Amino acid sequence: MVCLSLSAALLALGGSTVLAQTPPAAKPEPFGRFINNTIYQPVRSESITYPRFAELEDGTILATASLSGNNPAYFPVFESKDGGASWTWVSNVTDQVNGWGMPAQPALAELTEPLGGFEKGTILASGNSWSNNGTRIDLYASTDRARTWKFVSRVAEGGRPNTTNGATPIWEPYLLVYNHSLVCYYSDQRDRDHGQKLAHQVSKDLLNWDPPVDDVSYDLYIARPGMTVVIYIPPIKKWILVHEFPIGNSSSHGVNYPVYYRLADSPLDFRLSEGLPIVINNKTAPNASPYVTWSPLGGPNGTIVVSDADNPQVYTNRFGGDVDKWEENATPAGATYSRAIHILNKHPDHLMIFGGETFDDMRAGKLTPFTATVVSLTETLKNNFASFWRRK
């Protein structure tokens, strides 16, 4: 939901803060389960939203987020080697080329093969660098496990940050290593035929980028699909893309930013697929800034898990994305603006939920910490949301 991340970043004023590791209030067991384990505690005028992560091939987890309250803004990067039980600050991703800072919408990925002169294991970072002069999605690389960063290339650029239809910014990058290339997905307002659409660009060398390709666009001009997240579902041999889908001031099942998804044979061909809504029992729906992950547990098709910005619960599908088979399951984690979720690669029952501030908490100056929660997916699937709250 661009309007919230934009507002968050525009509050990024004041002096800089030197980040250090923030110890958790308790000491969770390595690769255990825990609730709201602190990664970083904001101070003074800071607030932290839009958490993002990358799990490396060796199981190390890197986490970052949009951190407002520092000028110029940057993305702090934290590392966990024990499944999120403990965290160490390792670096900041800073703007090295624009003089604008990195205020919003970070993205992380690991190269799983050599690409563009960079070795396998190189860490990639992107984000939205902006000022009144424009919005730029830039790519950075780290060859020393996220300790230092170097500017690599500019993926795309647009007009100044402005969510009004007719303005021309770009937003919300998401990185995917696929087919000996890097794919960068983003939200795009530059097409005069669309208030906003979703697009991607591909690079085979991390320096040069192919022209944009549409992923999700609608004939209705005021439709604003946004915030792409993509993951592969092995049992059905499909890729899934989730996004929010606001249309003016309209609402669907009580929400103004309903969550939609598309399934495709290739992550480059979502434009050929139909957009499907996530609705539970024809009554409720997730709202805004979705994230998606997948676990092999839960049945022959495994379990698709989706999060939204406004609710602590997650939305699950154990039937290969069948539009009529979504469920709502309670979690102890809090709502967070653009909350990210992840199934640990070597622990398929561990659902990690990254936390931070909601937009309202940020405006209230509550200094909500950046956190990690890990719950059992198996137990989560047993908790129907309605029955869970009846027992509380």
Name residue 92's beta-bridge partners.
Answer: 76
pLDDT-based confidence at residue 172 (cuts at 50, 70, 90)? very high
Mean pLDDT of all residues in the chain?
A: 92
b or e along 241-258 (b: 16 or more beta carbons within 10 Å of the residue's beta carbon)?
bbbbbbbeeeebbebebb
Average pLDDT over residues 356-381: 92
Q: What is the pLDDT of residue 1?
A: 54
Q: What is the pLDDT of residues 51-94, one digit of tens each?
A: 999 999 999 999 999 999 999 999 999 999 999 999 999 999 99
With vertex at residue 37, the alpha carbon angle to CA 369 and CA 351, rounded to the nearest 5 degrees, is: 115
pLDDT-based confidence at residue 26 (cuts at 50, 70, 90)? low
Residue 215: name the closest of 203, 231, 239, 197 by CA.
197
- Whole-model pTM? 0.92
Average pLDDT over residues 212-219: 98
Average pLDDT over residues 222-237: 98
Other Cβ atoms within 10 Å of 236 Cβ, number:
16
d(CA 263, CA 279): 16
Which one is predicted more confidently, 391 or 162? 162
pLDDT at 6 over 60: no
Q: Which residues contact 12 (CB under 8 A, 6 or more apart)?
A: 67, 68, 69, 70, 71, 73, 101, 103
Q: What is the pLDDT of residues 302-330, one digit of tens each?
A: 999 999 999 999 999 999 999 999 999 99
pLDDT at 385 over 60: no
Q: What is the pLDDT of residue 8?
A: 35
pLDDT at 238 over 80: yes
Average pLDDT over residues 37-60: 97
pLDDT-based confidence at residue 14 (cuts at 50, 70, 90)? very low
Region of 145 (left: φ > 0; alpha: ψ -120 to 50; beta: rest) is left
Q: What is the pLDDT of residues 247-301, one digit of tens each?
A: 998 999 999 999 999 999 999 999 999 999 999 999 999 999 999 999 999 999 9
pLDDT at 390 over 60: no
d(CA 260, CA 242): 6
d(CA 197, CA 179): 24
pLDDT-based confidence at residue 365 (cuts at 50, 70, 90)? confident
pLDDT-based confidence at residue 359 (cuts at 50, 70, 90)? confident
Most distant CA pair in the chain: distance in Å? 56
